Amino acid sequence: MEMSIENENKRLRAIVQQLLDRIEENQRIQEHFHQFEFKLLSATGLQDLLHLLLDDACRHFRLASSSVFLLDEDGSLEGLITSLGIDHYQSRLQLRSSPEFYEKIYTGEPRVTLQEVDVLTSTRLFPGAPNVGSAALLPLIRQHRLVGSLHLASSEATRFTPDKSADFLSHLSSLIVMCLQNSISWERLELQGQLDTLTGVGNRRYFDRAMEQELDRANRNHGHLSCLFIDADHFKHINDTFGHMAGDLCLQFLAKRIGQQLRKTDILCRYGGEEFIVLMPGTESKQAILIAERIRHAVAQESLTMGEQTIPLTVSAGVSTWKARKTKQVLTPEELSENGKALVERADKAMYAAKQNGRNCVAVEK
């Protein structure tokens, strides 16, 4: 009898210890999640937030990879991400124009899904990631609408399995979508303050920010950055002859025609007055000259019609190019600013040389 009671006590003590161990483990996991959630809430913008989800999360949770897919039905999110210079996550950050893709990931009502991963799923959700054994799929739902999906990959086939609890991940998913939507809304408001209200292209504030980002990127990639400085010819004469409304229409026309000749990666801004400026990442001088000539030709071949009046338009353009040093080195903010100003000044001088050469032409820095 005593032996039976002693055995029962041992069994009960073992059960209690298991419960205590589980409570302690849950507390440890909860604290681990809280640490990451605090980082999310402290993120200063969309770029910082994506860095946490696509880089820091892998280290924090010991993941093989992670990816974020976001719904972008009208293409506006792509424009925002491009304007912020976010392009170094490659296929780990994907934008989808239709919710149909997400319906293939989540069968039925979208909820956190823990599963083993086959080769096809790994290729689709974690391109380039080797040896993915299991994954946690977190739907990003805002106001009862699926707006994206976060995917966490583990090399261990047994880490994310359907029998595991998903409570912490569900809470994390809710927090992430809130942070994403808030940061996107904030960045859009910030971007509105960086657009020229007349032409719809970037303003001087936008240009200064883009210049610093693109110079830093060119330096890190040991590449080139070209700059076009474009000025409308005889613009004062147009204003004096046809009126300021005609001048505004000319600027809108120029912004549109210039933009049509540029590539997706090029950045067009109104620098001031009748001056436009273009940053061309990864572009050497020879290619920049060809694009500048294409812009000049596109503007000159089509006159602006205003009522019964026809207003001929031409532009003069200057080209300058920055090249990273052979020996890689990190540029300080002051050096980025100095290099950016010098690049613009050289393009500006080249543009004035084009004016002196008779206008309606392209000149290159000397």
Q: What is the spatial order of strands in the sheet that 93-96 belongs to?
A: 93-96, 65-71, 145-154, 134-142, 113-116
274 labelled catalytic:
yes
CB-count burial class (<10 Å; 0-12, 13-18, 19+) for 90 = exposed
Residue 195: φ, ψ to 5°:
-110, 140
> What is the residue type of 293?
E
- What is the rounded CA–CA span in Å between residue 177 and residue 150? 9
Q: Can you name the residues that pair with 272 across neighbouring β-strands?
A: 275
DSSP letters, 194-233, are: TB-TTTSSB-HHHHHHHHHHHHHHHHHTT-EEEEEEEEET
Kindly name the residue from 274, 334, 338, 365 that is annotated as catalytic: 274
Cβ(267)–Cβ(214) below 8 Å: yes
Query: Which whole-number Å values give the CA distances from 170 to 119, 135, 197, 232, in the listed order?
Result: 25, 14, 42, 56
**Tokens (6 digits) for 89:** 């996550």
Whether the Cβ atoms of residue 229 and residue 318 lie closer than 8 Å to each other: yes
Sequence-separated (6 or more) residues with CB below 8 Å from residue 86: 46, 47, 50, 93
Active site (catalytic) residues: 274
